[in-house]
């Protein structure tokens, strides 16, 4: 439940002898003998699929472009199509040491993916023992910790969530609002020189796959002591702030607290309360962007600025078998939710007005049967409840960043630098080639960052509104905007956050699953005089690099995990409904050799240009279309195209598509095709990974 996954949307060190506040001061980067080093152990077990090579058993490497190996004697007996872990034996042979499961088992495939990428799985006995040893701290009395257990509080999370690291309280304060964002006090349970700290530093983040997660912290902390479960007293770090009626922050306090969440809400249930109110207030557009641009006369109408209200207003009630979840809203809870949504709408309007980007999220949301098996997936649009949580978390992250900046604290800032001029020009050229209207670019040679952010904010809203109006390009055009931007990262110094149009930003709200948030908590508490500690300069720089690198690595693994899970579901669907069915799709990416097509709401595959007709196709000048060499027919980003599935590879997550051919012999496509002159482009590659060039940017 964090904005970390939205477009700005993942070790160890000893405490310095001089005191809690200066860990590692003056130590040079790389000099800490306990600094974790990610080395590739040649003896590390790697995943393989068991096959036959004539009369011999052989092992086919998974998630690696490598040769096959013969099976050595002395290991686990092989069985055809088992997924196994094996280690080098002698020569070109590998000895099987563990069976993960069959090739048809999606969990076994995902486990093999983690082994191939060297992701740590499970926890050592030392870490588990350390987690068990701090259990008594949960009930220990702390002098100075504020008791907020009587304050009405709720959490909003997915149906399947197990770790709840943030909770919200909100009330009227005169003509404005008083809000509390309560975040699990993880640093209270994780000593900065202990086993849990060292393991969290190595991992830097939790990793989430469709069937399971590999948490940063052991379950005794992530799902119990630190998790803000309903009707249990939990220790938090609270940000309390007041806002006027226009969303301007007028006062902020930070302190350690004790809370008891009254309600564990799901996104779906919260939307049944907020969605209808947003529609009544005028929220009809998918992103809430149009409503956010209208002058606000009545703050209660601000809820219209929350996105996706029309998608949930008529949705049936969510399932009621979520453990411990509240599924009936009494008058008090309804009032709190609507007030929180109102404040979130006010904050969103203010954020968009300063130039924050508006780019929707389309990550898959999975459903599971009663046995916990994967059963379905759907594209998860941003809804009012998601936006409510996002706005409160953004406000808390910004407030803490500003405070630590004033204190000249050592912290890990979340930075997002402005795009390069060449990238901006190419983006505008591409949108123009697609016929997408754009606002006028600011005049002058050197455009100030704030003005540039305002332009990008207007551009993102205009592109989204055009996509909704024309029913095309919702995914691909947003991807073009994202690809023109630099990637957000962690840094030891503040550089601002362009995507959020924020002068200072960091991550504070998810310490259960992100190491940078844990660093932020310690730094904040240190400067509040409530314990805490700070990293030394060299450690801070190393942590920033490690967390940024690991975040990108984990993002790629999570995307691959989605590909695999979706292939499993697609294969099952086709087995029942037949392989001849035609899917309506949308072109979301392209290379010289073909098109990447999103179809069936969540699936994605590759359609080779050789299947488009008897002519050669090349990318257009700005690579927004494939253009026929002879006819000039073009297949543009965002265009509709009907496809059939030709092949599904459940082990690699790849889908090959074929065109759905009408009598004309060409694929069925959307209107608006225009001949185009021949332009230069790349030759078709020999092999593709579907979606790699147009995957979601996080």
Q: What are the structure tokens assigned to 118, written together?
A: 């060297």
The predicted pLDDT at position 300 comes to 63
Q: What are the structure tokens assigned to 333, written together?
A: 């809870």
Token pair 């889908």 in the structure block, residue: 655
Q: HSE-up of 695 (CA within 13 Å, CB side)? A: 16
Q: How confident is the model at residue 549 (pLDDT cuts 50, 70, 90)?
A: very high
641 burial type by CB count under 10 A (0-12 exposed, 13-18 middle, 19+ buried): buried
Which CA distances in Å does 471 have to 9, 73, 465, 602?
24, 59, 10, 16
Note the pLDDT tens digit of each residue in 261-275.
999 999 999 998 987
CA distance linking residue 8 with residue 149, whole number of Å? 33
689 pLDDT more than 60: no
What value does the mean pLDDT take over residues 242-265? 96
When the pLDDT of each residue in the chain is averaged and rounded to a whole number, the result is: 85
Strand pairing partners for 693? none
286 pLDDT more than 60: no
CA distance linking residue 432 with residue 611, whole number of Å? 28
Note the pLDDT tens digit of each residue in 633-648.
999 999 999 999 999 9
Asked if 628 contacts 576 with a C-beta cutoff of 8 angstroms, the reply is no
Q: Quick count: other Cβ atoms within 10 Å of Cβ 246? A: 14
Asked if 374 contacts 572 with a C-beta cutoff of 8 angstroms, the reply is no
The predicted pLDDT at position 453 comes to 85
Determine what percent of the chain is predicted with pLDDT higher than 70: 83
Of 278-287, 517-526, 684-693, the range with the highest mean pLDDT is 517-526
CA distance linking residue 193 with residue 14, whole number of Å? 5
Q: What are the structure tokens assigned to 600, written together?
A: 């069936």
147 pLDDT more than 80: yes
Which CA distances in Å does 67 have to 48, 96, 98, 113?
11, 16, 20, 17
17 pLDDT more than 80: no
Q: Which domains does the chain have, with CATH numbers?
A: 46-117 (2.40.50), 267-347+355-379 (no CATH), 578-694 (2.40.50.140)
Q: How confident is the model at residue 622 (pLDDT cuts 50, 70, 90)?
A: very high
The predicted pLDDT at position 5 comes to 32
The predicted pLDDT at position 108 comes to 97
Secondary structure class of 619 (helix, strand, coil): strand
Contacts of 392 (CB under 8 A, 6+ apart): 168, 179, 181, 340, 343, 344, 347
Alpha helices in 72-151 (DSSP H): 106-117, 125-133
Sheet containing 166-173: give its strands across: 146-147, 249-260, 233-243, 176-184, 166-173, 154-157, 263-266
CA distance linking residue 478 with residue 8, whole number of Å? 14
The predicted pLDDT at position 557 comes to 97
Q: How confident is the model at residue 382 (pLDDT cuts 50, 70, 90)?
A: confident
At residue 585, φ and ψ (nearest 5 deg) are: -125, 175
Q: What are the structure tokens assigned to 50, written together?
A: 């068991």
Note the pLDDT tens digit of each residue in 175-231.
999 999 999 999 999 999 999 999 999 999 999 999 999 999 999 999 999 999 999
The predicted pLDDT at position 145 comes to 95
The predicted pLDDT at position 278 comes to 65
The predicted pLDDT at position 698 comes to 33
Contacts of 480 (CB under 8 A, 6+ apart): 427, 430, 431, 624, 637
The predicted pLDDT at position 646 comes to 96
Q: How confident is the model at residue 487 (pLDDT cuts 50, 70, 90)?
A: very high
Q: Quick count: other Cβ atoms within 10 Å of Cβ 52? A: 10
Contacts of 110 (CB under 8 A, 6+ apart): 209, 210, 211, 212, 561, 564, 565
The predicted pLDDT at position 314 comes to 61
491 burial type by CB count under 10 A (0-12 exposed, 13-18 middle, 19+ buried): buried
CA distance linking residue 171 with residue 98, whole number of Å? 56
At residue 566, φ and ψ (nearest 5 deg) are: -70, -35
Sign, CA torsion 17/18/23/27: negative
Q: Can you give the three-state secondary structure of 473-536, one letter per residue? A: CCCHHHHHHHHCCCCCEEECCCCCECCCCECCCECCCCCCCEHHHHHHHHHHHHHHCCCCCCEC
The predicted pLDDT at position 19 comes to 32
């Amino acid at each position: 439940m964090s904005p970390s996954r939205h477009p700005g949307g993942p070790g160890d060190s000893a405490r310095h002898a001089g005191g809690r506040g200066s860990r590692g001061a003056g130590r040079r980067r790389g000099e800490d003998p306990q600094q974790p080093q990610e080395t590739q152990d040649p003896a590390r077990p790697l995943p393989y699929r068991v096959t036959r090579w004539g009369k011999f058993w052989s092992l086919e490497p998974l998630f690696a472009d490598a040769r096959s190996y013969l099976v050595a004697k002395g290991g686990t007996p092989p069985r055809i199509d088992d997924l196994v872990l094996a280690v080098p034996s002698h020569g070109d042979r590998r000895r099987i040491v563990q069976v993960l499961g069959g090739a048809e088992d999606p969990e076994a495939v995902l486990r093999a993916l983690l082994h191939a990428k060297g992701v740590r799985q499970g926890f050592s006995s030392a870490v588990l023992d350390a987690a068990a040893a701090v259990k008594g701290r949960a009930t220990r009395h702390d002098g100075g910790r504020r008791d907020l257990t009587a304050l009405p509080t709720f959490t909003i999370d997915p149906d399947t969530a197990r770790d709840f690291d943030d909770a919200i309280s909100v009330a009227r304060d005169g003509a404005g609002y008083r809000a509390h964002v309560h975040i699990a006090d993880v640093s209270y349970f994780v000593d900065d020189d202990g086993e849990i700290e060292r393991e969290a530093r190595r991992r830097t983040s939790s990793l989430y796959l469709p069937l399971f997660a590999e948490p940063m912290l052991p379950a005794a902390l992530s799902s119990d002591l630190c998790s803000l479960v309903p009707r249990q007293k939990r220790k938090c770090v609270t940000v309390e702030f007041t806002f006027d009626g226009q969303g301007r922050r007028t006062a902020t306090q930070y302190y350690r607290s004790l809370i008891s969440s009254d309600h564990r809400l799901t996104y779906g249930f919260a939307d049944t309360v907020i969605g209808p109110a947003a529609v009544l207030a005028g929220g009809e557009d998918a992103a809430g962007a149009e409503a956010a641009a209208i002058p606000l006369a009545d703050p209660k109408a601000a809820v219209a600025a929350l996105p996706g209200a029309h998608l949930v207003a008529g949705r049936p009630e969510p399932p009621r078998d979520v453990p411990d979840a509240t599924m009936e809203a009494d008058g008090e809870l309804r009032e709190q939710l609507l007030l929180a949504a109102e404040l979130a709408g006010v904050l969103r309007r203010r954020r968009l007005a300063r130039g924050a980007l508006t780019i929707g999220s389309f990550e898959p949301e999975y459903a599971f049967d009663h046995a916990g098996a994967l059963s379905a997936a759907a594209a998860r649009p941003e809804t009012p409840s998601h936006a409510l949580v996002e706005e409160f978390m953004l406000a808390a992250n910004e407030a803490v960043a500003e405070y630590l900046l004033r204190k000249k604290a050592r912290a890990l800032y979340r930075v997002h630098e402005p795009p390069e001029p060449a990238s901006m020009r190419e983006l505008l050229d591409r949108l123009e080639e697609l016929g997408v209207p754009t606002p006028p670019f600011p005049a002058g040679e050197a455009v100030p960052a704030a003005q540039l952010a305002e332009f990008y904010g207007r551009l993102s809203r205009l592109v989204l509104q055009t996509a909704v109006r024309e029913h095309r390009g919702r995914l691909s055009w947003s991807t073009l905007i994202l690809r023109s931007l630099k990637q957000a990262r962690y840094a030891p110094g503040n550089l601002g956050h362009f995507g959020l149009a924020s002068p200072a930003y960091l991550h504070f709200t998810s310490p259960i699953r992100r190491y940078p948030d844990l660093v932020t908590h310690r730094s904040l508490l240190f400067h509040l005089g409530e314990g805490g500690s700070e990293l030394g300069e060299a450690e801070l720089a190393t942590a920033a690099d490690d967390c940024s690198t690991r975040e990108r690595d984990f993002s790629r693994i999570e995307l691959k995990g989605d590909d695999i899970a979706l292939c499993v579901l697609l294969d099952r669907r086709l087995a029942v409904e037949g392989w001849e069915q035609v899917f309506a799709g949308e072109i979301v990416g392209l290379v010289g050799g073909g098109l990447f097509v999103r179809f069936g709401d969540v699936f994605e595959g590759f359609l080779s240009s050789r299947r488009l007709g008897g002519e050669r196709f090349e990318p257009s000048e700005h690579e927004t279309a494939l253009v026929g060499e002879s006819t000039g027919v073009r297949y543009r980003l965002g265009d509709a195209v009907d496809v059939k599935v030709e092949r599904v590879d459940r082990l690699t997550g790849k889908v090959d598509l074929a065109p759905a051919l009408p009598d004309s012999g060409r694929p069925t496509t959307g209107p608006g095709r225009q001949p185009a002159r021949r332009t230069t482009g790349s030759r078709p590659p020999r092999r593709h990974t579907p979606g790699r060039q147009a995957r979601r940017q996080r």
